[in-house]
Chain A
Amino acid sequence: MLLSAIVILPFAAALLIPVIARAGAGASLCLGGLSTVMALVALLAQAPLVFQDGLVVERHAWVPKAGLDLAFFVDPLGLLMAGLILVIGLLVMIYARFYFGPKEAFGRFMARLALFQGSMLGIVIADNLLLLVIFWEMTSLSSFLLIGYWSHRADSRRGARNALVITSAGGLALLASALLIGHVAGTFQLTTILGQPDVVAQSALYLPILILVLFGCFTKSAQLPFQFWLPGAMAAPTPVSAYLHSATMVKAGLFLMARLWPILAGSEAWFLIVTTVGLLTMVVGAWIAIFKTDLKAILAYSTVSHLGMIAMLLGLGTKLAAVAAIFHLLNHALFKAALFLSAGIVEHETGTRDINRLGGLWRAMPITATLSTLAALAMAGVPLLNGFLSKEMMLEAAVHADYLGVAWLVPLLATVGSAFSVLYAFRFVGRVFFMGSGRPPGELAHDPGPGLWLPVACLIIPVVAIGVMPGLVAQDLVAQAGSAIIGEDPPVFELAIWHGWTQAFQLTLVAMVAGLLGLWVLRWLERLHAGLWHPSGEQIFGKLLDAGSCVVAWLTGRLQNGSLQFYLAVFCLTGLALGITAFWGGDLSAGTRPLMPLSPLGIIGWLVVLAASGFAVVAHQNRLLALIAAGLAGLMVALAFVAFSAPDLALTQLSVEVVTVVLLLLALNYLPKTTPRLRPLRRFGVNAPIALLAGAGVGAALYALLRRDVNSISAFYTAMALPAGGGANVVNVILVDFRGYDTLGEITVLAIAALVIYSLLQSALRGAAARRLTEWPSSAQAGDSHPLLLVVLTRLLLPMALLVGLYIFLRGHQAPGGGFIAGLIVGIALILQYMASGYAWASRRLPTDYHGLVAVGVLVALLTGSVAMLVGRPFLTGGFMHLHLPYLGSIELASATAFDLGVFLTVVGVVLLVLAGLSRMARLAEPSGETGPLTIALDRGENQPHRRTEDVGHAPIFGSSFARDAADPTAKEPD
C-alpha cells in the first residue's frame, strides 16, 4: 500500500489544491508540501528494506487482459530518483511560493506541479512497462501545462507546443517499444523482463526495440537533434525550469536508459548510437552555452550538455561508466537546480536575465552570490565540490573507451566538453556577480528573503557534503544504485577526492586550464562563433511542422473539397461496389414471402412521397420550398409508420419534423434564401448513372430483404421485453433497458451537439459575423409581431400540451411514448410560447438555464445506471417492481422510468438551448421593439411610451392568463 501511496498522494493534492486555492497561496503550499512530505516518509519507510533486499514490489490488477497492472517497485535506483523528485519538489514548491507575485494564480501552478510530481514518481517506480508509458505521457502533458503557464505570452505557447509535440512523439515511440518488449518477453512486468536480459537482447526485434526506446529517451532528455525544445521550454516560470527541465523530467529519458541498461546495453548498436549522440550533444550544447547571454539559456544549454554527458556514459556500456552516469545524474540535479533557482532570484531582484546588463552583484547580494558561485564551481568540476568527482569518474571511463578502434576520440571530446563547461560556468558567475560596474539595472537589488535563498542553500549543502566527504555521504547510495542499473554487483570503485596522478586527473587539469585560458580569449571565441553557421532547431522544426500541415491541408482539400456531389458520388460508388461484391456470391433467387396486396391509399401515399422528393430536387435552390418538400415527405413517412404499426416511430417522426422546421426557419432568416448555383449539369453524364444505379441497388436490396424471412434479434427482444424489462412497449424497453448504454451515449452526443451549436452561435455574436448581423436587411414585416389570436390560443394550449407530454412520458414503458417523444412534445409546446408571445415574455417565465437542464438530464441517466452498480450489478442494469395503490391500481416502478426522465430532460434542454442560441442572433440583428404580446393599440396613443405592455391595466379580457401575469411580480419589473 505504501508504494502506491507515494504516487497517489501528489495526484490527490493536484485534485484538492484547486478546491482550496481560494484560501490563498499558503494553503496551496501547505497541501502540496504536506503530500510531498508524506510521500517522502512513505518512501523512506521502504529504504531499509530496499537496501537489504534490493527490491520492494507491490501489485494491483487494473486491466489484466491487456497486461496492464498497477504495479510498483522500488530498488535503489528508483529510491534515488524518487528521493530527488520529492526533495527537490518540496524545495521548489517553497521557492515558488515566494517567487510568484500575489496576483499570480498560485493554486493553479501548484496543482499542475503536483500533477507532474505524481507522474514523474510513477515513471521511476512503475513495475509495468505500459504503466510507465502512461506516466511518461502524463509528464509530457503536465510539462506542457507548466511551460505554458503564462499562456498570454507567445514564447510560452510556442515553447509549450514544441515540447509537447517532441516529447509526445517520443512517447508514442516508447509505447511501440513497450509493446514490442512485451511481445518478446511475454510480459510487461519490468522486474521479470530485467531478470532475463538475454531474451530481449537476442531476439530478432532487438534493433527496432532499441531504436524506438532511444527515440523516446532522446526526445525526453533533449539529445541532438531534439535538443531545441529544452531552451524553448525556458519560457516557463523559473521554478518549473529548475524542477522539470533540469532536475527531474529531462532525466526521465536517462533514467529509462539506465533502467533498461541490462537488456539493451552492451551491443554494438547501443554503443554507437548512444555514445555518438551523447558526445555530440555534450560538446555542441556546451559550445552554445558559452555564447548565450540569457541566464536561463546558458543554463538550458549547459543542461543539454550534461544530459549528453550522462547519455554518453550510459552508452559506453561499461559498468564503471554506468555507475558514473548515475552519480553525475545525482550531482547535476543538485547543482543545476540550485543554479536555476539562483538565476530566478537574480531575475526576481533585478528584473533582467541578460548578463550584458548584469554585473558586480556580489556586493548587493552576497548570499545569492555565494550560493551561485558554489553551484557554478561544482558545475565546472572544481575540487571539493560534487561535480569534480563525477567528472573525474566520467573522464576515467572515457579514457578506457575505444571508439571504433580510435582510442583518443572519446577522451578528447570529453575533455573538450569539460573545458567548455569550465568556461561557461566561470563566465556565468563572473559576468553576473563579480565583473562589471556593480550598478545593475535594478539599483535597489538586494538579497531576497530566506524563502527564496533557503531552498538554494538546502541544495548546496549536499553539493559540498558530497564534494568533501564522498566516501561517507555518497559511496553506499551510488554503489547500490549502480548495482541496480547493472543488475549485479558494481565494480570496485571508491569515491575519493584524491585517486593519485591518474590519466583522468591529468585530463581534469587540462580541461580546467583550457577553460580558464578560454576566458582569456573569449572575445576571439565570440567572433569565431558569430562567423559560424548556427542552424536553429526551433526554426527547422517550425518549417517541418508547416510543411506537414501543408501536405495535410492539400490532402484534406482533395478529399473534402466542399462539393456535396463529390461526397455523394464517392459514397454511392463505395456502396455500389460493396453491394455488387455481396450480390456476386449471394443468393439471387426471389424471396419466399408472399407479396402483400396493394391498397389504394398505399399507392396514393407512395405517389405523394415520390412527388415530394421530386419537388425537392426541382425546387432545391429555393430553400423555403425545399423545407416545405421535406415537411411533406416527413408527414407521409409518419403516415407510413402508422400504417405499418410503428406508432412510436410515427410520434417521433412527427415531433422531430416540427422541431426541425422551426429551427431551420429560425436559421433561414439569416441565410441566403437560395442556394448557390451548382455547376449546371456539367457532370450529368457521370452523376446520373451513379444516382440511378445506387437508387436501383438500394431498391433491389430492400426488395430482396423484405421477401425473405431473416433471423434477427427482434424476436428475442419481443419475447423478453415484458419478463426481463417489465414493459410491454418493446421499443421503449430496448431504448431504456436492453440497449440503455447506446441511449446514454446518444443523449450525451445530443448534449454535446447542443453545446457546440450554442457556442458556435455565441461566437457568431462577436466580430465580423456580428457586424454582418447588425447590418442584416430587415425582412418584410407585415402584421403583428404577436398576433392576438395566436397568443391566446397558445397559452390555452400550453397546459394541455404539457399534460399530453406527461402522459406520453409516464406510459412510455407500456404503450407508445417515452422520454424522447415526451421531451420533444414539451419542447414544442415551449417553443410555441416563444413564437407566439416573444422571447422576452417567455424567457421571463421559464428557467433559462438550459445548459443546466441538459447536464441534469445526462446526470440523471448516469446516476440511474450507477445505482445498479451500488447493488453489485453491472452498470445500467434495470430493475422494476409493481406497487398496488388504492384508487390508482397497480403502478409499475421501473428504474427505466428514471433513466427515461434523464432522456426527457436532455431532449427538452437541447431543443430549447438551440432555440435560445438562434434567437439570440435574431435579437442582435433586429433589436426587439417595444411591443410585447397582447399589446393593445390603445396603449400607443397614450403618453406612456415606456409602459410595460403586459401591465395589469388592460387585463380583463382573458381572466386566467392575465391573472397569472398579475400574480407574477417579475412581469412588472422594469428592464
Chain B
Amino acid sequence: MIVYASLIAMTMVGLALLLNLYRLLRGPDPIDRILALDTMTTNVVGIVLIGGVLFNTALNFEIALLIALVGFISTVAFCKYLMRGDLIE
C-alpha cells in the first residue's frame, strides 16, 4: 500500500515541479522565477523524502535536511540582490 501511496505522491510532486517550471520559464518578473526556483527546491526536498520512504533509506532524510538547510540561501541571496544590489553590507 505504502509503495503505491509513495509512487502517487512522488508523481504529484513531480507534476508540481513541472508547473513551477512553467512559472520559471514564463516569468514575467525575476521575482516570479526566483520564487519558482525556491518552490522547486522545496519540491525536491519532498521527492527525496518520499524516496526515503519508498526505498526505506535513512540517508535520504539527511540529504533532505541538507537541502532544506542550504537551499533557501540561494533564494535569500537572489532576493537581497534584487532589493539591495549588494549582498553583504
Query: Which one of A56-64, A201-209, A775-783 is at the interface?
Result: A775-783
C-alpha gap A783/B31 in the complex (Å): 15
Q: What chain A residues lie within 8 Å of B14 (beta carbons)? A: 600-601, 604-605
Q: What chain A residues lie within 8 Å of B74 (beta carbons)? A: 631, 657-658, 661-662
Q: Is B3 an interface residue (CB 8 A)?
A: no
Q: How large is the interface on B (under 10, 10 to 19, 20 to 34, 35 or more residues)?
A: 35 or more
- Asked whether A639 lies within 8 Å of B89 as measured between CB atoms, the reply is no
Q: What chain B residues lie within 8 Å of A639 (beta carbons)? A: 44, 47-48
C-alpha gap A419/B61 in the complex (Å): 95
- Asked whether B81 lies within 8 Å of A668 as measured between CB atoms, the reply is yes
Report A214 CB to chain B, min CB distance, Å.
63
| Residues in B21-50 with C-beta less than 8 Å from chain A | 21, 24-25, 30, 33-34, 37, 40-41, 44, 47-48
- Would you list the 5 A-B pairs with minimal beta carbon distance, nearest first? A779-B85, A604-B14, A919-B88, A661-B74, A665-B81
User: Which of A662, A783, A815, A925 has the most chain B CB within a 10 Å cutoff?
Assistant: A662
Q: Is B5 an interface residue (CB 8 A)?
A: no
The one of B33, B70, B88 that contacts A922, using a Cβ cutoff of 8 Å: B88
- Asked whether B77 lies within 8 Å of A632 as measured between CB atoms, the reply is no
Report A732 CB to chain B, min CB distance, Å.
14
The one of A604, A638, A782, A804 that contacts B65, using a Cβ cutoff of 8 Å: A804
- Asked whether B88 lies within 8 Å of A838 as measured between CB atoms, the reply is yes
- Asked whether B47 lies within 8 Å of A922 as measured between CB atoms, the reply is no
The one of A608, A631, A835 that contacts B21, using a Cβ cutoff of 8 Å: A608
- Asked whether B70 lies within 8 Å of A635 as measured between CB atoms, the reply is no
Q: How many A residues touch B, CB cutoff 8 Å?
A: 64
Q: What chain B residues lie within 8 Å of A661 (beta carbons)? A: 74, 77-78
The one of B59, B69, B83 that contacts A781, using a Cβ cutoff of 8 Å: B83
With A669-B87, A779-B85 in contact, is A654–B70 under 8 Å at CB? yes
Report A627 CB to chain B, min CB distance, Å.
8
With A647-B63, A783-B83 in contact, is A825–B70 under 8 Å at CB? yes
Q: A647-B59, A658-B70 are in contact. List 14 more A-B contacts (CB 8 A).
A: A615-B24, A643-B51, A654-B71, A661-B77, A662-B87, A778-B85, A779-B85, A780-B85, A783-B83, A804-B65, A816-B59, A839-B88, A918-B88, A922-B87
Report B59 CB to chain A, min CB distance, Å.
6
Q: What chain A residues lie within 8 Å of B81 (beta carbons)? A: 624, 665, 668-669
Q: Is A628 an interface residue (CB 8 A)?
A: yes
Report A693 CB to chain B, min CB distance, Å.
27
Q: What chain B residues lie within 8 Å of A263 (beta carbons)? A: none
Q: Is A963 an interface residue (CB 8 A)?
A: no
- Asked whether A790 lies within 8 Å of B84 as measured between CB atoms, the reply is no
The one of B11, B51, B86 that contacts A779, using a Cβ cutoff of 8 Å: B86
C-alpha gap A658/B87 in the complex (Å): 14
Q: Is A655 an interface residue (CB 8 A)?
A: yes
Report A661 CB to chain B, min CB distance, Å.
4
Q: What chain B residues lie within 8 Å of A647 (beta carbons)? A: 59, 62-63
Q: Is A801 an interface residue (CB 8 A)?
A: yes
- Asked whether B65 lies within 8 Å of A783 as measured between CB atoms, the reply is no
Q: Is A625 an interface residue (CB 8 A)?
A: yes
Report B12 CB to chain A, min CB distance, Å.
10
- Asked whether A625 lies within 8 Å of B88 as measured between CB atoms, the reply is no
C-alpha gap A650/B52 in the complex (Å): 15
Q: What chain B residues lie within 8 Å of A928 (beta carbons)? A: 89
- Asked whether B66 lies within 8 Å of A654 as measured between CB atoms, the reply is yes
Beta-carbon contacts of A785-803 to B below 8 Å, as 1s and 0s?
A: 1100010000001001100
Q: What chain A residues lie within 8 Å of B66 (beta carbons)? A: 651, 654-655, 804, 825
C-alpha gap A929/B89 in the complex (Å): 8
Q: What chain B residues lie within 8 Å of A786 (beta carbons)? A: 89
Report B1 CB to chain A, min CB distance, Å.
19
Which residue of B is nearest A628, CB measured? B33
Q: What chain B residues lie within 8 Å of A836 (beta carbons)? A: 76
Which residue of B is nearest A603, CB measured? B14
Q: What chain A residues lie within 8 Å of B86 (beta carbons)? A: 669, 779, 922, 925-926
- Asked whether A828 lies within 8 Å of B73 as measured between CB atoms, the reply is yes
Q: What chain B residues lie within 8 Å of A838 (beta carbons)? A: 88-89
With A608-B18, A922-B88, A922-B89 in contact, is A780–B63 under 8 Å at CB? no
The one of B33, B41, B88 that contacts A666, using a Cβ cutoff of 8 Å: B88
Q: Is A23 an interface residue (CB 8 A)?
A: no
Chain A residues within CB distance 8 Å of chain B: 600-601, 604-605, 607-608, 611, 615, 624-625, 628, 631-632, 635-636, 638-639, 642-643, 647, 650-651, 654-655, 657-658, 661-662, 665-666, 668-669, 778-783, 785-786, 790, 797, 800-801, 804, 815-816, 825, 828, 831-832, 834-836, 838-839, 915, 918-919, 922, 925-926, 928-929
With A655-B70, A658-B71, A825-B70 in contact, is A665–B78 under 8 Å at CB? yes
Report B15 CB to chain A, min CB distance, Å.
8
Q: What chain B residues lie within 8 Å of A655 (beta carbons)? A: 66, 70
Which residue of B is nearest A611, CB measured? B21
- Asked whether B84 lies within 8 Å of A666 as measured between CB atoms, the reply is no
With A601-B47, A635-B44, A835-B76 in contact, is A665–B87 under 8 Å at CB? yes
Which residue of B is nearest A840, CB measured? B89
Q: Is B67 an interface residue (CB 8 A)?
A: yes
Which residue of B is nearest A804, CB measured? B69
The one of B30, B37, B78 that contacts A632, using a Cβ cutoff of 8 Å: B37
Which residue of A is nearest B30, CB measured? A624
C-alpha gap A816/B88 in the complex (Å): 32
- Asked whether A628 lies within 8 Å of B70 as measured between CB atoms, the reply is no
A-B contact pairs, 17 of them (CB 8 A): A624-B30, A631-B74, A642-B51, A650-B63, A654-B67, A662-B73, A665-B78, A666-B88, A668-B81, A669-B85, A783-B84, A785-B84, A790-B76, A825-B69, A828-B70, A919-B87, A922-B86
C-alpha gap A778/B65 in the complex (Å): 37
Q: What chain A residues lie within 8 Å of B33 (beta carbons)? A: 625, 628
C-alpha gap A651/B40 in the complex (Å): 17
Report B72 CB to chain A, min CB distance, Å.
9
Which residue of A is nearest B41, CB measured? A635
- Asked whether B59 lies within 8 Å of A782 as measured between CB atoms, the reply is no
C-alpha gap A132/B74 in the complex (Å): 59
- Asked whether B30 lies within 8 Å of A625 as measured between CB atoms, the reply is yes
Which residue of B is nearest A600, CB measured? B11
C-alpha gap A601/B16 in the complex (Å): 11
C-alpha gap A666/B66 in the complex (Å): 23
Q: What chain A residues lie within 8 Å of B82 (beta carbons)? A: 780
Q: What chain A residues lie within 8 Å of B10 (beta carbons)? A: 600-601
C-alpha gap A816/B59 in the complex (Å): 8
Which residue of A is nearest B44, CB measured? A639
C-alpha gap A624/B32 in the complex (Å): 13
- Asked whether B84 lies within 8 Å of A782 as measured between CB atoms, the reply is yes
C-alpha gap A651/B71 in the complex (Å): 11
Q: What chain A residues lie within 8 Å of B60 (beta carbons)? A: 642
C-alpha gap A790/B89 in the complex (Å): 14
- Asked whether B77 lies within 8 Å of A835 as measured between CB atoms, the reply is yes
C-alpha gap A121/B47 in the complex (Å): 72
Q: What chain A residues lie within 8 Å of B34 (beta carbons)? A: 628
C-alpha gap A828/B73 in the complex (Å): 8
- Asked whether A628 lies within 8 Å of B78 as measured between CB atoms, the reply is yes
Q: What chain A residues lie within 8 Å of B87 (beta carbons)? A: 662, 665-666, 669, 835, 919, 922
- Asked whether A801 lies within 8 Å of B69 as measured between CB atoms, the reply is yes
Which residue of B is nearest A929, CB measured? B89
The one of B41, B67, B89 that contacts A785, using a Cβ cutoff of 8 Å: B89
C-alpha gap A155/B14 in the complex (Å): 71
Report B62 CB to chain A, min CB distance, Å.
8
C-alpha gap A650/B47 in the complex (Å): 14
Q: What chain A residues lie within 8 Å of B37 (beta carbons)? A: 628, 631-632, 635
The one of B40, B73, B77 that contacts A635, using a Cβ cutoff of 8 Å: B40
C-alpha gap A650/B70 in the complex (Å): 13
Q: What chain A residues lie within 8 Å of B25 (beta carbons)? A: 611, 615
